[in-house]
Amino acid sequence: MNINIKKLNKNAVVPTYGSAYAAGADLYACIEKDEIIEPNETKLIKTGLAIELPVGYAAFIYARSGLASKRGLAPANKVGVVDCDYRGEIMVALHNHSSEAQAVSPKERIAQMVIAPYITAEFDVVDTLSETARGNGGFGSTGTK
């Protein structure tokens, strides 16, 4: 699938896949100098990119596992959603979950983007729902003892 992407900044890096079968394409910081994110602070980090997704697709922005596990930096909203009609700059709200200040450098990989189809539902209000074995059990109700 070909996806149109626009560089909003000449220094922007086009997303790259780390391996032939990677689901997520790495997004890179498009910043002039290091950005310091203090403990428990969130900063919007620009990518310098805008994207044109086909109707029926969205881009989901996830943490990079190494950045999150080694340095405590992950998207503040856990998963960002870029809708197919959005044409503005993709930005990542990076939150520092660690107890130490973390520097994000220009052109550093800051998140990964997965492009996937979605379904737009029609919601029908009804008086009853079908019965299941699980019923209304939630929050750990299917776990083992």
Instruction: Tell me the per-residue pLDDT of 71-120, one tens digit each, with 9 for 90 and over.
Output: 999 999 999 999 999 999 999 999 999 999 999 999 999 999 999 999 99
Residue 143: pLDDT over 90: no
Thinking of the domain 4-116, which architecture would CATH place it in?
Distorted Sandwich (2.70)
For residue 47, give the nearest of 76, 88, 95 by alpha carbon: 88
Residue 145: pLDDT over 70: no
The reported pTM is 0.89
C-beta neighbour count of 34 within 10 angstroms? 12
Whether 98 contacts 51, CB under 8 Å: no
Question: Which amino acid is it at 135?
Answer: G
- Beta strand residue intervals within the chain, DSSP E: 4-7, 16-17, 25-28, 35-37, 42-46, 49-52, 57-62, 73-75, 80-82, 91-96, 102-104, 109-117
Structure tokens at 9: 């900044």
C-beta neighbour count of 8 within 10 angstroms? 14
Q: Rounded CA gap, 105 and 38, in Å?
A: 14
What is the pLDDT averaged over residues 43-65?
97
Instruction: Tell me the per-residue pLDDT of 119-133, one tens digit each, with 9 for 90 and over.
Output: 999 999 999 999 998
What is the SS3 assignment for 107? coil
